[in-house]
Amino acid sequence: MKRLLVSIHDVAPSHFARLERIVPFLEETNGIGTRYSMLVVPDFWRKGHLRDDPAFCAWLRARAAAGVEMILHGYYHRDETPHTSWGQSLKASALTAREGEFLGLSRAEALARMQQGKAELEDILGQAVKGFIAPAWLYSAGTKDALKDANMMFAEDHWRVWLPGQDRVVAKGPVISYASRSKSRIASSLLWSRLATTLLRPLDTVRLAVHPHDFDIPSLITETHRALGVLQQNRQLSYYYELAAD
């Protein structure tokens, strides 16, 4: 069986207005229903914790109760670690706009944030949170080790989905995602998406990720709609946790 995993990243109160547009776009316009995942950040860029916005928490609980899969997506999402190595500094600045929160954390630091975020999100939702996906898909070695201690069933980076407790990879291949920070990034995103819907066809599992700021760019909205239409033709919409049963 071929699968399609669709996710919304950076789910937080500061993006509420955009999220209220993205959800009907996925659920109704593209016919996905609630078979997709939300990557939730407890205190996105320290702009306001989930628990301090009752309306957003109620909305999040309603989506979870309807069947949307909820995944912990860091804690602050902002990379506040001073990087000493050239490689990590390059990743932090070139691959993302200082959003790789877990790129430089030790095992103890990563575990503490995972445990705190998981407990807070479960309290808000009233249900278990099974997985963790690091902001910008960037992990330190310590973060990867901490996934087991935090009892995370699954994790994802840009190239794979794996089960930390079993050290088992359950999906391989690059994520289809979009960048909206500049005209050149938008153009490259559009090209990659059009190529990927063909090039990734042989894969058992294809992943497509939507970010709130994608919906500030009409061409990215149009391309996301096209890509979802193509990918749904021969794939079953799935949740991340279902990969553990394969």
pLDDT attached to residue 99:
82
Cα angle 168, 174, 180; round to 5: 135
Separation CA 13–CA 18 (nearest Å): 10
d(CA 193, CA 238): 20
Q: Mind spelling out the 3-state secondary structure of the chain? A: CCEEEEEEEEECHHHHHHHHHHHHHHHHHCCCCCCCEEEECCCHHHCCCHHHCHHHHHHHHHHHHHCCEEEECCCCCCCCCCCCCHHHHHHHHHHCCCCCCCCCCCHHHHHHHHHHHHHHHHHHHCCCCCEEECHHHCCCHHHHHHHHHCCCCEEECCCEEEECCCCEEEEECCCECCCCCCHHHHHHHHHHHHHHHHHCCCCCEEEEEECHHHHHCHHHHHHHHHHHHHHCCCCEECCHHHHHHC
Give the separation between CA 80 and CA 70, rounded to whole angstroms.
25
Q: What confidence score (pLDDT) does residue 215 get?
A: 97
Which amino acid does the sequence have at 111? Answer: L
Global pTM? 0.93
Burial environment of residue 214 by CB neighbours within 10 A (0 to 12, 13 to 18, 19 or more): buried
Contact 69, 241 (CB under 8 A): yes
236 token code pair? 């079953």
**What CATH number is given to the structural domain containing 191?**
3.20.20.370
Closest CA to 37 of 21, 26, 29, 51: 26
Count: domains in the chain = 1
The C-alpha atoms of residue 22 and residue 231 are separated, in whole angstroms, by 18
pLDDT of residue 82: 59
Model pLDDT, residue 181: 83
pLDDT tens-digit readout, 76-112: 999 876 555 545 544 444 455 568 899 999 999 999 9
Structural domain span for residue 123: 3-245
Question: What does pLDDT average to in each consecutive run of 10 residues of the chain (246 residues)?
Answer: 97 98 98 98 95 98 98 93 53 59 96 98 98 97 97 97 96 96 94 98 98 97 98 97 88
**pLDDT value, residue 97:** 57
In sequence order, the β-bridge partners of residue 4 are: 206, 237
Per-residue pLDDT, 85 = 52
How do residues 115-135 score in pLDDT, each as one tens digit? 999 999 999 999 999 999 999
